[in-house]
């Protein structure tokens, strides 16, 4: 097992390199980079972005440019800006170096978990991610827990009652839940229960109220669940649907095997057969998939939901960073998420061996 784990860890290196290389290459051809963002703000809307740039830890004197100077810059909208000002912008953002040098410098820094500072925020990228992470972890944990608490009993019941009316109408509910996009259901919940056209029962944004720190501990807990109800409902809908069908199919496969027939022939009760023999084998794939389910809810699932409900987590941070072309935040998010995803994939495989010791990846046929 040690050799298998070592191989998997070593394979993470070229995988991470490929992910970062492709993403970096795509960014080089994407229009509207950080330099263009600053230029468009300065030439179109005034000094708003000047403040943001000077606060981002750049060099001084950035706003002193001759508006009458004509620039032959490669950046769209740079006509009329001093070429020296454009050069200072490029140096501040690191674009004065060749792309290949910037890429390998980024990889070297990331290997040491040095993600630099945000272009437009006066804070290090790592501190910014750590600041937003508790919100996303909170959502991911609750979604994963609720989806498993709902889907495992429901999936087992559907397998036992396979073909019955209960199985039919619950399957319809599950399929509809799986088919409805989470963000669309979130909007529907907002319209119905968050002060839209019907009821005003839940808040529209945030995980806590403005006066949360002034509340007692029981009131804080209630306030937290009051805010998180609609986002969780939107995320759990598709999550529990997938796990329910997976649980049902796993149990159906096991129930039809010969050892179940033998156990029943010995006179064991149906409950003893189901939970004493079938459960461990059937739940192998479901339990082993727990880390992946959590990461899915933690990162990908909450992206749109965080934006819809204005939850200040990693999903909202990533979305705003892409819009602002805040590349240090974008690439740091990508690197950290990819790294965690690779380790979670390894952890899922290791959980197979923990749930069923008969599985040995070292002895499998290559």
Instruction: Find which of 40-54, 87-101, 226-240, 347-361 is predicted with most confidence, using mean pLDDT.
Output: 226-240
Question: Which residues belong to CATH 1.10.3720.10 in the chain?
Answer: 126-363
- Comparing 6-20, 31-45, 91-105, 331-345, the range with the smallest average pLDDT is 31-45
Instruction: Report the pLDDT value the prediction gives residue 104, as an integer from 0 to 100.
Output: 92
Write out the DSSP string of 49-66.
HHHHHHTTT--S-TT---
pTM beyond 0.75: the answer is: no
Average pLDDT over residues 19-36: 82
- Alpha-carbon distance of 237 to 174, in angstroms, equals 8
CB-based contact 281:333 (threshold 8 Å): no
Count of alpha carbons within 13 angstroms of residue 87, beta-carbon side: 5
Average pLDDT over residues 311-334: 85
- Alpha-carbon distance of 348 to 336, in angstroms, equals 18
Token output for 129? 């991610």
CB-based contact 33:322 (threshold 8 Å): no
CB-based contact 331:343 (threshold 8 Å): no
Task: Please name the helix (run of DSSP H) or strand (run of DSSP E) that holds residue 99, with its range, or none.
Answer: helix 99-111
At residue 39 the predicted structure's pLDDT band, cuts being 50, 70 and 90, is confident
pLDDT digits (tens, 9 = 90+) for 142-161: 888 888 888 888 988 898 88
Going by C-alpha positions, the residue among 133, 345, 141, 340 that lies closest to residue 239 is: 141
Instruction: Report the pLDDT value the prediction gives residue 264, as an integer from 0 to 100.
Output: 83
pLDDT, averaged across the chain: 78
Instruction: Report the pLDDT value the prediction gives residue 43, as an integer from 0 to 100.
Output: 67
Q: Which CATH superfamily is domain 126-363 in?
A: MetI-like (1.10.3720.10)
Check pLDDT > 70 for residue 54: no
At residue 299 the predicted structure's pLDDT band, cuts being 50, 70 and 90, is low
Instruction: Report the pLDDT value the prediction gives residue 18, as an integer from 0 to 100.
Output: 92
Average pLDDT over residues 1-30: 86
CB-based contact 255:311 (threshold 8 Å): no
At residue 333 the predicted structure's pLDDT band, cuts being 50, 70 and 90, is confident
For the chain, percent of residues with pLDDT exceeding 70 = 81
- Comparing 17-26, 46-55, 294-303, the range with the smallest average pLDDT is 46-55
Check pLDDT > 50 for residue 133: yes
- For the four alpha carbons of 348, 354, 359 and 362, in that order, the dihedral sign comes to positive
Check pLDDT > 70 for residue 349: yes
Instruction: Report the pLDDT value the prediction gives residue 51, as an integer from 0 to 100.
Output: 40
């Amino acid at each position: 097992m040690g050799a298998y784990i070592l191989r998997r860890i070593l394979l993470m290196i070229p995988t991470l390199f490929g992910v970062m290389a492709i993403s970096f290459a795509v960014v080089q051809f994407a229009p509207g980079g950080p330099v263009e963002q600053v230029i468009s703000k300065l030439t179109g809307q005034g000094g708003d972005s000047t403040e943001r740039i000077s606060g981002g830890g750049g060099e001084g004197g950035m706003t002193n440019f001759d508006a009458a100077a004509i620039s032959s810059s490669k950046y769209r909208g740079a006509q009329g800006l001093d070429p020296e000002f454009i050069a200072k912008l490029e140096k501040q953002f690191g674009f004065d170096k060749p792309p290949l040098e910037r890429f390998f410098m980024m990889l070297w820094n990331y290997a040491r978990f040095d993600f630099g500072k945000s272009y437009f925020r006066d804070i290090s990228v790592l501190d910014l991610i750590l600041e937003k992470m508790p919100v996303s972890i909170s959502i991911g944990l609750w979604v994963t827990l609720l989806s498993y608490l709902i889907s495992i009993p429901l999936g087992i019941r559907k397998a036992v009652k396979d073909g019955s009316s209960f199985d039919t109408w619950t399957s319809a509910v599950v399929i509809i839940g799986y088919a409805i996009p989470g963000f669309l259901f979130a909007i529907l919940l907002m319209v119905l229960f968050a002060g839209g056209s019907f009821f005003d029962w839940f808040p529209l944004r945030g995980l806590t109220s403005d006066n949360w720190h002034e509340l007692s501990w029981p009131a804080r807990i209630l306030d937290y669940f009051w805010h998180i109800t609609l986002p969780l409902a939107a995320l759990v809908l598709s999550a529990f649907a997938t796990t329910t069908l997976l649980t049902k199919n796993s149990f159906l496969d096991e129930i039809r095997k010969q050892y179940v027939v033998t156990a029943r022939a010995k006179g064991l009760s149906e409950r003893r057969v189901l939970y004493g023999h079938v459960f461990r084998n059937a739940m192998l794939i479901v339990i082993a998939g727990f880390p992946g389910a959590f990461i899915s809810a933690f990162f990908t699932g909450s992206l749109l939901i965080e934006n819809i409900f204005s939850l200040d987590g990693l999903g909202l941070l990533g979305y705003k960073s892409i819009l602002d072309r805040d590349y240090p935040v974008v690439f740091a998010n990508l690197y950290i998420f990819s790294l965690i995803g690779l380790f979670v994939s390894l952890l899922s495989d290791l959980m197979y061996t923990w749930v069923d010791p008969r599985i040995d990846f070292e002895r499998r046929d290559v």
